[in-house]
Structure 1
């Protein structure tokens, strides 16, 4: 993918700038140096207008002064029907230009749309549009080099960079505030490259974080399904062996804990949560408490329920109660804080078989 840089701004003696432009006569030379440095570094250039009031004319002059320029390296973005044909050396080196025919007849449309594709923006002087460009770059994390020494919007954006978060370090922002001198164009290229590298590294870190989160989610969901299967397996297990209080109670306890944990993990996946261990512990506890409250109510009505066939049928209720309690563990704990029963017993006492 090409590395595309936009150099925007203006230094028109007939306009009023805030702050006032300084060393206006040095702007064309500085822009030529910037263009040459970008060409040497292998960057492509995007320009919008060849009118004398804007800086692109000088930037293209410097850019094409280097023989290393590849075909189509200078992208011209202008409103439809307003194609620019006055850029320096366009007639002599047409292969270096890539004129893009943008839809729409307003320059704002093609201009701001192109900012999504650039890997860096250099601000030189300029007025309101340059100021907006700088704010867009800071808001969307586009590497930006705001030259403060020439005044105008470039100076205002530089002042904002001292207070806003972006990919440039405080030392690099300080360099942007220095007076323009020979070799300063090299700093422009270095700082844009450094910002882009930090941006790329941040994207890689975010991608790794998302990948790890997706992996943890997949593992958690897999564990939740296994626990659900374990809880359901208590049904055929209790029916496969002779009924006894020990077997029945073991099936009820294991089933409640397994389905409670599974319910909490399902809830966590449903809410796109990341705290799987905490959620599992809360779900297991909620399932256990709900199980105790539910079964104690049955034992109060039928003390011999664990020794007969009724315990096997009770297992169907316990598995459901455990899963629902784990899935809604926040509601369970809310009820416990209010000293209310976690789940009511079903109507009518269970019989022993």
Structure 2
């Protein structure tokens, strides 16, 4: 069969290193490396090579256009939708594609394409905008647009979700045969190069620290972690620091720095900003614990990454986060700061607990 992979979501600014992009690139790599029976075709933008996928003949690759500056892309959004859909239709038709696998269908701005004789498989990453409508879909027109896009899943021949939790959420909102919705978990990108190993071996960090790595939008609930850390830091016996890793917009930086000043925590909290994979691995491997306070995750890649690097995990018990951890994760009740504090103290007071969790 001829299978076309729509990889656009992994190439957009802000998505490449987050869940959508990592899921898409890992899935594509797994297919290209392991499936020798089918022919694969790739659809993306001019930065497609950044995904470092196994080589595919040039005639099987469709580059739509160079990525546009965000403001220009937003202003030209509807025109770009039509252009992309037409180009993809032509590519699918001209190459007699049997299956179009769309990874770009997890956000409200995805471009749906279901025309032609081929079968369409769509990937749903989460329903976060709908579940947190008051934060992401405040305007009625945005809500209506999101619901219309969500209904496009009903046109698919098959749907893949990144977790059982996302599958359950999606089936509660659309009419679709549940036997045609399959959870497929994402892989984790582990650090393998000698250069990155060398970085980790020469880096040093004497103090113990709690680690959070991820986004900083509302649902990530970083404020709860900050509140818990402030209360813990009042105890002179508590000598852990807090490291906040990952890309963060300036408004969030300003808010966190204000919190640090008001609570005299400038020497106890570090904001790293965007970091390399090698640096992230180092932070995981040397952390006292990784704390994941998120209110909802379609999958929650950092939880799995932390476990792969033998880092104890303390996570909120909700959505997909409660799906994978079992006894390997110390769970606290969502949005309960006292329970989070209790779990951090539990891990601190019983050093053997870390080994039991990771055994």
Q: Please state which band the TM-score falls in when normalised by the shorter chain.
A: 0.3 to 0.5
Larger fraction in strand:
2
After TM superposition, the score normalised by the length of structure 1 is 0.33
Taking structure 2 as the reference length, the TM-score comes to 0.33
